[in-house]
Amino acid sequence: MTVRAIRGATQLERDERDHLFERTAELVREVLAANEVTTDELVSILFTCTPDLRSDFPAAAAREMGMGDVPLMCSVEIDVAHALPRVVRLMAHVNLDRPRQDIRHVYLHGATVLRKDLAQ
């Protein structure tokens, strides 16, 4: 079995806990669905947020989705001038027997500008 990394990002309209949870859950669901992955195949998920998001942890949203047994970690994204604001990113590590080129990365809402070549 090979461990593959799946990237994704979403942009929030505002820094509010419920909105953060909604957008994070949507991102996680879309990443799993796009790659036909179950939570049993997840090794871990690393979330990052831009420094302007402080209402809660994206990992708390994933735990609320039932991922309490998946190792989850949050970090603050580098505060780069002119960076896209209010962005949650993830990198999911997954046990998959498929080539890297078959992995589908997911970029939602305003975050589609981050990777126009990969956005859905």
Q: Note the Cα 120 to chain centre separation in Å.
A: 14
pLDDT of residue 110: 87
pLDDT of res. 113: 84
> What is 2-115's CATH topology?
60s Ribosomal Protein L30; Chain: A; (3.30.1330)
Query: Would you please indicate which residues are annotated as catalytic (active-site) residues?
Result: 7, 63, 74, 77, 89, 107, 115
Of all residues in the chain, the percent with pLDDT exceeding 70 is: 95
For the ranges 13-22, 54-63, 106-115, the lowest mean pLDDT is seen at 106-115
pLDDT of residue 117: 66
Asked if pLDDT for residue 28 goes beyond 80, the answer is yes
Q: How far is CA 111 from the centre of its chain?
A: 11
- What is the dihedral angle through the alpha carbons of 118, 80, 27, 30, rounded to the nearest 10 degrees? 10
Residue ranges covered by each domain of the chain: 2-115
Residue 54 to residue 31: CA distance in whole angstroms: 23
Query: Looking at the predicted structure, is the pLDDT value of residue 119 above 70?
Result: no
Question: What are φ and ψ of residue 97, in 5° steps?
Answer: -100, 70
SS3 89: strand
Residue 12 predicted with pLDDT over 70: yes
